[in-house]
Structures are given as structure tokens and as C-alpha cells.
Amino acid sequence: MSPPANRNKEAQKVTIIGAILDTLLGFAKIIIGVAANSSALIADGIHSFSDLLTDFMVVIVFHFSHEKPDEDHPWGHGRFETVGTVLLGCVLIAVAGAMAFESSMSLWENNSNLPTPGWGALLVAFLSIVSKEWIFRYTLAVGKRIQSDLLIANAWHSRTDSLSSIVVLIGIAGAMAGFPWFDKVAAIAVAAFVGKIGWDLTWTSIKELVDTALPEERVNELRETVAEVDGIISVHNFKSRSMGSKSLLEMHIQVPPYCSASEGHWIGDTAVMRLLQRFDDIGHVIFHIDTYDDEEENFCRILPLRKEIEQVLADAISPLLPQCTDYYLTLHYLHDLIEIELKLGKRASEQLNDSSLSLADLNSRLNESLTDYPWFSRLSIWQR
């Protein structure tokens, strides 16, 4: 996918082109519609101006949705695009409802006294079909390339103008052939199609706003990519959601229990880099490093932290090596137990050598003194 700056530039370019086209078509349809006695073409011109309004909305929404994260929006402004898609989908549904209502009511009216449209109206309707179909395909292609639901929604809105122009063309041709009711039936069918498009776009965006997970196939691909990283035992508590064109992920990564904090974090960073390399829609990844599988647990075990353990160990060492403080602890939290590595510094090693204790004796006596603590697993001593 294109970088945010290029993405915004592409979206604005295609939208501005569409806006210029809608302006020209709107004036042409209304002017020729009045001159050629075609109320359908006049209505279609008003529809083109409604497209112009949505074009301006797309440009404005894209501007805000690509703003950098700030204090009020730390996750960015991607949801502006989603909200814009919902509004645009609602516009499509409203347009479809208006088209269906107007056409249904017209079926009950007497159209025998209506003036017959001229060939100019037929020509403008044909040109509208060609031009709106072109802008639809162009906008849709750009929307898919930059993965923008809002731009895709606007493309389909352009398609509604093309479809309505087809209805107008059929209606004008039918009226010129003596069948004024024919275009009304076709208009209702097109309105149903337009309403379906509006509903699909709106419903998809609403699911995003309520943080619906990504499709299962996509989640499986993401999990497999993470699981392939060397050092990762399992991936669990995997959560996903969308924000605009970006995917946001949260996961727990289990690594070997004796990993250092820095190694475990680097393994997690490597997993994130793999995801970014393989998938171009990843917006943000949050990972939690586990040293055991906590997927089945919904509570935090009560285990002492470093300060409390340091005090317990100091109380145990003091009778054996008085005033000995030159050592460092490495703590391994193994599910519901804690394993301790005691590394003696230079002064502590000299103090041990001057005492009557050997390293093995000190190790044995400290293990014995800590046995009564329910969280204690074992202690190992190392000398520098």
C-alpha cells in the first residue's frame, strides 16, 4: 500500500477529477433538460450535484483522517474515514429511497400529457453514462490500490449516477417511443441495487466502529507469521480490529522461561518486523511477553516482587556472610514459583573465601533457609 502522504495525494487527485466532472455534468443535464423538456434529466442533474457534495466530503474527511496522532487522538484519525464511509453509505441509501419513492409514485400518475423529450436529452444522458462509468472505474481502482473504503464508497456513489443516467436514457427513449412508464420500473430496480450497495458499505463500517475482529483467514495468516519467529513457543490471546485502512493487533507471545527481559522483548520486536514486512496494512501491534501459557487464566497470581525477595535473601545471607551486599539477583518467575540466581561480586567472593564456608555449603544452606516460602523453587549461586 502507498505511504500515507502518497495515499492522501492519490485520493484527493481522483476525487477532484470526479468533482470537476460532476460540476460539468450537473450544469449540462439541467440546462439541456430544461431546453429538451426532460424532467428526468433535470433530476439526474440534481443527482450529479449531490455527487459533487460527497466529493467535497471525501476530500475533507481524507484530510482529517491522515492527520498524525495527537493528544486527543493517540491512535490516529483513521476512524474519521470510517465515519465518512458510514455517512456516504447513508447518502446512497437515502438516494435509493428517494429514487424508488419517486418512481413508485409516478407509476400511479397519468403521463399522457407530458411533453416528449428531444434528442439532445438522449445525447446528454448517453455522455453521462460513459463519463460516470469511467470515473467509477478509475476511482474504484485507486480505492482498492490504497485500500480506502471511503474512496470505494464514493466510487459506487459515482456508479449510481451512471445507473440513474441509464434509467434516464431508457426513460427518454421509452417516452419518445410512447411508453412513459417503462423508465419508472427500471428506476425502482436500480434504486434497490443502489440501496444494497449503501447498506453493505454502511454495515461494514459500523462493524469496524464496534471493533469487529478481522476475518478468520486473515487472523490465521497473522498468527502463523508470528509463530514462525525463532524463540516463540506459542501465540495466544490474539486480538484484531480495523481502523480505516489499517489493522490493529494485540497478542500474548510465549517465550522460554529463562529468557532475559531484553531477549524476550527483542523476540517480540522481531515478530512485529515480520508482520510489517509481510502485510502492508498493519497500523499498530501491541504484544505481551509471557514465560508460560496464561491463556486459561483470568487472574494474576500473588507473587512477591524484587524488593521483598531481596529483603528475604538479605536476612538469609546475613548470618552466614555478615554485611555482605556485593551480589545481584536474577529472578525467574515460573508460573507460581520463583527461581533465584545469586551472582556474587568480587568483594562477596573474597568474603566467602575468607570464611569457613564453601560455595556449595553456602548454596545448600541458603536453599534450606528459603524452603518454607511457598513461592520459592530453588536458588543457584554463581561467582564472577
pLDDT digits (tens, 9 = 90+) for 295-305: 665 555 688 99
Select from 328, 338, 223 the least CA-distant residue to 292: 338
40 confidence band (pLDDT: 50, 70, 90): low
pLDDT of residue 61: 61
Beta bridge partners of 383: 344
pLDDT in tens, 261-274: 899 999 999 999 99
pLDDT of residue 58: 64
Q: Does pTM surpass 0.85?
A: no
Question: What is the rounded end-to-end Cα distance, in angstroms, of the chain?
Answer: 52
Whether the predicted pLDDT of 43 surpasses 70: no
Sorted by where each starts, the structural domains of the chain and their CATH numbers stand as 4-209 (1.20.1510.10), 216-290 (3.30.70.1350), 306-383 (3.30.70.1350)
pLDDT in tens, 192-247: 766 777 787 788 778 777 777 788 888 999 999 999 999 999 999 899 888 766 78
- What's the CA gap between 223 and 269, in Å, rounded? 15
Q: Is 211 left (phi over 0), alpha (psi -120 to 50) or beta?
A: left
How deeply is 370 buried, as exposed, middle or buried, from its count of CB atoms within 10 A (0-12, 13-18, 19+)? buried
CB atoms under 10 Å from CB of 109, counted, come to 11
Select from 37, 16, 18, 36 the least CA-distant residue to 26: 18
Select from 257, 206, 255, 248 the least CA-distant residue to 231: 255
